[in-house]
Amino acid sequence: MEIERILERLCTLSGPSGFERPVAQAARELLEPLMDQVWTDRLGNLVGVRRCGRPGAEKLLLDAHLDEVGLTVTGIEQGFLHFAAIGVDARMLPDREVTVLTQPPMLGVVACLPPHVLSPEDREKAPKMEELFIDVGLSQEEAEKRVPLGTPVAYRAGFFPLGERQLCGKALDDRACFAALLGAAELLRGRELDVDLYILGSVCEETGGAGAKVGAQAIAPDFCVAVDVTHGRTPDAAKDETFPLGAGPTVGVGPNCTRWMTRELLDRAAQLNLPVQKEVMTGNSGTNGWPMQVANEGIATAVVSIPLKYMHTPVEVVQRSDIEDTARLLAAFAEALGKEGASHD
């Protein structure tokens, strides 16, 4: 799987929650060769299915969200744009380069006062969202003509290798995971399955998971795996809340994770000698697994995550091997489902 080519294509596109269409279109072109049928639902979710050919076969759904965090324009003052957050923390924003998704898009920077003019007290304070503006280099009249209220804004696109093993860019949360789903589907090419395999590139995860909720209700799978990112370890991070990159994906353990699915994922990893880590989730996993688990009459659910550094910034970082190992794990899990003797207890 050409991970870097796929991620460069996906991550350099802008798709804040509710505005994912360009990303979904590119993802569709990547998914179509691997599926029997691909479509986009009313909400904008990308859905693909590979049918196993068995009448009444059970359904496995693998989900990764396509949206990213961003902003939306709420007003204009002296040519500067007021904005509200779509999943972004205000501390991440001062002096950031952004793309304002007008037609055509325009570049901007989040304005910030230089340290020379800040009081000692202000230097220690975190900025508030309402105190920040986007500078697009326009007058008030020009900005009002070119930037409608409600225009979405994304971090400026960027993607590049970081050292020999890691990859850096915006929106790797969660497009690195969608790349892993593509990898799993590619590994399963030509292999016999006993379940119908569905892949969901869901929308609006960063604003509550509406895409996964609608997708799961429509597909009505018997099992689902939410594939997302988790916090990668850095020198300043708590060791008990983060996971090292390069040590494999994490498998969720907790009330959002059906026990036999967790056990099966860990067993498959052991059989294949794949590195994995356990992630204890005491409640809401913070992933699409939470809304999917209770869709319809309830769905057996697992959560698999790829460690990622600097979440919700334009310089998110993952390790290539973790994406590859996630693809291998998901493919092995899908291949084992429905086989004689497989346990669902």
Number of helices (H), then strands (E), in the chain:
9, 17
CA distance 83 to 104: 19
| Residue indicated by tokens 């496995």 | 60
SS3 state at 182: helix
The amino acid sitting at 258 is T
Q: Is 186 a residue of the active site?
A: no
Q: Which residues pair with 55 in a beta bridge?
A: none
The active-site residue out of 20, 205, 264, 279 is: 205
Q: Helix 259-272 vs helix 320-336: angle between axes, to the nearest 10 degrees?
A: 110
Cβ–Cβ < 8 Å for 226, 305: no
The amino acid sitting at 169 is G
Give the list of residues 6+ apart from residue 303 with CB closer than 8 angstroms, or none: 225, 226, 227, 228, 251, 252, 256, 257, 279, 281, 285, 287, 289
Q: Which residues are catalytic?
A: 205
